[in-house]
Amino acid sequence: MQVIVHAGLHKSGTTSLQEAWRRAYADHPTVWYPPPPPGPPGHHRLFRPLLRAFTDGLAPDLLGASIAFQGRGVGRQTLADVLAEGRRNEVGTVVLSSEDLDRAHEDDRAALEQALAGERVTLVLTATAPIHRWCSGWQTLVKHGLAQYPADAARHVVEFAALRAGRLAERVELIPASRHVVRLVRNSPPEPDLAADLAAALGLPDARSAVAQPVHNASLGTDTEVVLRINRADLALGTDRVGRDLLERLRGDGFAYRDAPGLEERYAVPDEVLEAAAVEAAWLGDLDSLLDPHGVLATWTDPTLPEWYRTISRREAAVPELEGAEDRETQLWRARQERGAYRKGLLRLRR
C-alpha cells in the first residue's frame, strides 16, 4: 500500500487542497482520503499525538489545540488504525494531509518512523515564498490570539512559518519516505487548480475530480492590526466567535486612521527571514523533485511586502474602545485563574 503524506506548509492553500481531495477520494475505488472528524478537512488529529509540540504544552499557539485534543478522552482513531483499515480494505493508495506536520522536530523522528514503518511513503511539501510566509504567518497567529507586532513576535512567527534557515530541508528529511515531492505555490492570485494539478503530478487517478474549493482562511488585510489590539485588550481570542463579532461592530462605517511614530520598526522583517530565503532558494534549485509550474522560485528571495502589510506598518486605526486596556498583570492574573479551572476540568475528564 502506498501512503502519500502531504505535510503542509501552513498558508500554502492547504485547507482548500484538503477539502478538494476529501471530496475526490473519500469514496474512490483505489485511492482513499480517510474522512476526518467534523471540522477541518485535514488529518490533524492523526498526527498531533506523534508531535511533541502538541503534547508538551510549551508552544503558546498550540496550547488550545492540545487541551481540546486531550479533552476528548480515549477511544479516538489513531494513524495506526487508519493504516490498518486501508490494508484490510486492500486500498492501493492512502492520502493523508496535515500542515501540523510542519511542526515536527528531531525529537519526533522515532514516533513518525514507527507510525509509518513498512509503508511506501511519498512525502509532499507545498510552500509559498518566505516573505509571504512571514506576513501571512504573523496574521494567522494574530487570528489565534497573538497580541504582539511581527518584530516583537519574530521567534513565534519563524517557528510557525518554517522560516529558520535550513528548516525546509530538515522537514523533508525528518519524515521517513522513499519519495519526496516539493511543490512551490503561487500565493497571488491563488491557484484555483492546485489540488488537481498536484494529484496529477503524484500519479493519482481521476485527478481532475479534485475540483477547486473556495479559498479558506481569507486574509484580514489591514484589519489585522485591529484584531491584534483586541487580543491585547483581552476582549477576545483572535477571530473566535467573540472576536469576529467585535471586529464587525468596530468596523461600523469604517475606521479613521492615525500616524503612529515608530510603527514601521515593529513590522520590520528580521534579517534571518531574508537569509533563510537565500538558503531555501539554493536548496530548492538543486532538487530533482521540485514542481514549480508558475516559476515561483525565480522570485523566492524577493523582499517586496504585500500592500496590506505595508499599509498597517505606516498607520493604525483609531478605535477609542481599544484604548486604555486593562494592565497586563491583571490580564495575566485572570488568565492564571482560567488556566487553573481548565486544568481541573481536564483532570476530571481523564478519570
Residue % of the chain over a pLDDT of 70: 95
Q: What integer best gives the mean pLDDT of the chain?
A: 92
Looking at residue 181, its pLDDT comes to 98
Whether residue 95 contacts residue 36, with contact meaning beta carbons closer than 8 Å, is answered with no
What span, in angstroms and rounded, lies between the C-alpha atoms of 101 and 232? 29
pLDDT-derived band at 328 (thresholds 50, 70, 90) equals confident
Residues 6 or more apart from 128 whose CB is under 8 A from it?
9, 11, 12, 136, 184, 185, 186, 187, 296
* Domain spans in the chain, listed from the N-terminal domain onward: 2-220+263-301
Residue 85's Cβ-count burial label (10 Å; 0-12, 13-18, 19+) is middle
Residues 6 or more apart from 153 whose CB is under 8 A from it?
138, 141, 146
Q: What is the pLDDT of residues 212-221, one digit of tens each?
A: 877 667 899 9
DSSP letter string, 191-256: -TTHHHHHHHHTT-TTGGGS---PPPS---GGGHHHHHHHHHTTS-STTSHHHHHHHHHHHTT--E
- Is the omega angle on the peptide bond into residue 189 within 30 degrees of 0, that is, cis? yes
Query: Which region among 5-19, 230-244, 261-275, 323-337 has the lowest average model confidence (pLDDT)?
Result: 323-337
Looking at residue 60, its pLDDT comes to 81
Count of residues making up the chain: 351
Whether residue 3 has pLDDT greater than 70: yes
Predicted TM-score (pTM) of the model is 0.92
Set of cell numbers at residue 218: 481569507
The phi, psi pair for 276, rounded to 5°, reads -60, -35
Question: How much is the CA Rg of the chain, to the nearest whole Å?
Answer: 21
pLDDT-derived band at 342 (thresholds 50, 70, 90) equals confident
User: Is 2-220+263-301 in CATH node 3.40.50?
Assistant: yes
Whether residue 74 has pLDDT greater than 70: no
Query: Which region among 15-24, 65-74, 224-233, 313-322 has the lowest average model confidence (pLDDT)?
Result: 65-74
Closest by Cα among 132, 180, 128, 164 to 292: 128
Mean pLDDT of 287-294: 96
Q: What is the pLDDT of residues 85-121, one digit of tens each?
A: 999 999 999 999 999 998 999 999 999 999 999 899 9
One-letter amino acid for residue 219 of the chain: S
Closest by Cα among 13, 299, 276, 97 to 169: 276
Whether residue 68 has pLDDT greater than 70: no
Whether residue 65 has pLDDT greater than 80: no
Looking at residue 253, its pLDDT comes to 82
pLDDT-derived band at 61 (thresholds 50, 70, 90) equals confident
Mean pLDDT of 65-86: 77
